[in-house]
Amino acid sequence: MSIIESNLDEKRSFSPSKDLKTNANFSNEDFLSLTKQFKNDRNKTWADLANSNILWDKSFSNVISGEAPFYKWFCDGKLNVSKNCVDRHISNSKSAIIYISENNEKKVLSYSDLYIYINKFSYALRELGLCCGDRVIIYMPTIPESIVAMLSCARLGLIHSVVFAGFSSNALRERIIDSRARAIITVNAFKRSGKIINSKEIVDEAIKVDCDFVDKVIIYENHTLLTNKKTRDVLWSEILPKDDKYIDPISMNSDALLFILYTSGSTGKPKGIMHASGGYLLNCIITNKWVFDLKDQDIFWCTADIGWITGHSYVVYGPLACGATILIYDGAPLFPHSSRFWEIIQENRVSVFYTAPTAIRTLMKVGENDPNNYNLESLRILGTVGEPINPKAWMWYYEKVGRNLCPIVDTWWQTETGANMIAPIPGINSLVPGTCTRPLPGIDAAIVDPDGKELTKPNQGGDLVIKQPWPSMLAGIWGNPDRYVKTYWSKYSSKYYVTGDTARYDEDGNIWIMGRSDDVVNVSGHRLGTMEIESALVSHDLVAEAAVVSYKHEIKGEAIHAFISLKNNSNNKIELADDLRGWVSLKIGSIAKPERISFSDSLPKTRSGKIMRRLLRNLARQEDITGDTSTLENESIIEQLKEIV
């Protein structure tokens, strides 16, 4: 048996306040009761949750059917996701969307406004001849019309695939061809960091060859930039009816596909992750209620772009199905100044704030004390998503942004899982900086060794797996069932869903994510998780970000190469590198010391903020860059890093 070692020790703990315990949506008594129900009868418990949280057109009799790993949830039930998100809330006069542009223009849509807008655009899509089951690419920034497009597709049974608006024409083209989309919805242009991005031009380039199956390109004129119309182009303003229309939401089978969302593969083309309607919606709703403690008066700002799964689950479908008010910001976090986030929170009285550790570390680097200059007293819940947050960044977030009052819900989940899987529940869990704490009710997670045997002792790292199916699990990979089985299920003979992450328990039973399974390094027979070494490095006062990979070593088998981004430039890099090696030895042990350290202004990241360690591994091992790089934020960084390795 070969397990991953852990020596990172974090003892700080923060208990829920008395007020939070008293007023939280989900109490400890609720948690214990629900946990007991799941233990006694999983299917009945999921059925009860589905019946109490979803508006069904036709009730279901089967909770889960199919064979591993091709499960179906509530499959004989019928519903419409758009109806669940909007129609059932229109009697409530509250705001649905607060939209802030990069130049600080503000627009507010009530649930009634959103309902009217969706019906009109659904009518327009139907008039264009789009039918239930057709695929539609949505290539737009995070504006109200993007959400209208998603919910209109859901209303008509169209399968949408949202593509991040910053992707290149090649990345967009791959997704259009793979999904065989009949229509593309885009904008003529948008601004990012003050620069104009010509989306229509990128779409034209993407479909100029081998895309005859695309019937229509719908263009929302988001900018004054002149739109160059071509044969299959139609303007949003031209097809949107002047008068109000009502379109009956199509009653869909619960297992009907709601959307395809493409993720970057480590090799080969991007994977089209499929999510079905009923099961996905259920986990979105309950996690918004449990983890974010959403209440009627909350303003919920999840900073994710709608092109990512976080934008789907915690900007659009989950909060709106709960009848919440969401804030969306179509702009860069540091433009026109480093305090843009804090300014928006202050001006709009944001109460629940959900962002990425990468954004937090960036904001620390450029303006460590900036939150002190703003009134952030409206905040009551903070959240993190995208990758594990290191304790140093967690404490800054807690102290500077949350004023030592707001619980931080550090959430672990994936595009594939659809919704939060492991996360604190604010009124229940004590919080320890750096851990996502415990699995949510109904989520049967485990940590296993290479033979599939469960590891239960503290600080023994292994593969993080999920033992039982859950409603929002991926329905497969679009057009490639074999890849679905091979990627997520084959390692343990379809016994477990394999997350691809490694993890460990601490002495209190909390789960700590240690990194991706292919990021484990084996130094002189010691298997070490890269996330802990990175956490030790960024706890140093001079380090802003760090990424750790392995390379082949003649004596040790593998050695550690650390890529470092500093808060401020340092002239004596050799002395600093030695200082950092000593720092890691102090925090973890000498076995974890980086053999090589490279300093750069930034690290290669996806547009959602994740560091692409796979590319750094190629560089450290002096290999050719391999695999999909379409999600890379700044491709020029690779050439810069080649010069310093």
pTM metric for this prediction: 0.89
First-to-last alpha carbon distance for the chain, in angstroms, is 34
Predicted confidence at residue 556, as pLDDT, reads: 72
pLDDT for res 42: 98
Strands 543-553 and 526-528: unpaired
Domains by residue range for the chain, with CATH: 520-644 (3.30.300.30)
Q: Which residues of the chain carry a pLDDT beneath 70? A: 1-2, 7, 265-268, 524-525, 527, 570-571, 607-608, 626-631
The pLDDT of residue 642 is 82
What pLDDT score does 180 carry?
98
- Residue (of 361, 434, 436) closest to 603 by Cα position: 361
Q: What is the DSSP letter of 561?
A: E
Q: Count how many Cα atoms sit within 13 Å of the Cα of residue 231 in the half-sphere of its side chain.
A: 5
pLDDT of residue 517: 81
What secondary structure does DSSP assign to 564-601, as a single string?
Answer: EEESS--S-HHHHHHHHHHHHHHHT-GGG--SEEEE-S
Mean of all residue pLDDT scores within the chain: 92
pLDDT number for residue 1: 45
Tokens of 100: 């802030």
Please write the tens of the pLDDT for every residue from 21-61: 999 999 999 999 999 999 999 999 999 999 999 999 999 99
How far CA 189 is from CA of 192, 196, 197, 223, in Å, comes to: 10, 7, 5, 6
CA proximity to 357, closest of 325, 313, 401: 401
Tell me the backbone φ, ψ of residue 502, rounded to 5 degrees.
-105, 155
Q: Of 5, 1, 67, 6, whose CA–CA distance to 434 is shortest?
A: 6
| pLDDT 10s digits, 300-353 | 999 999 999 999 999 999 999 999 999 999 999 999 999 999 999 999 999 999
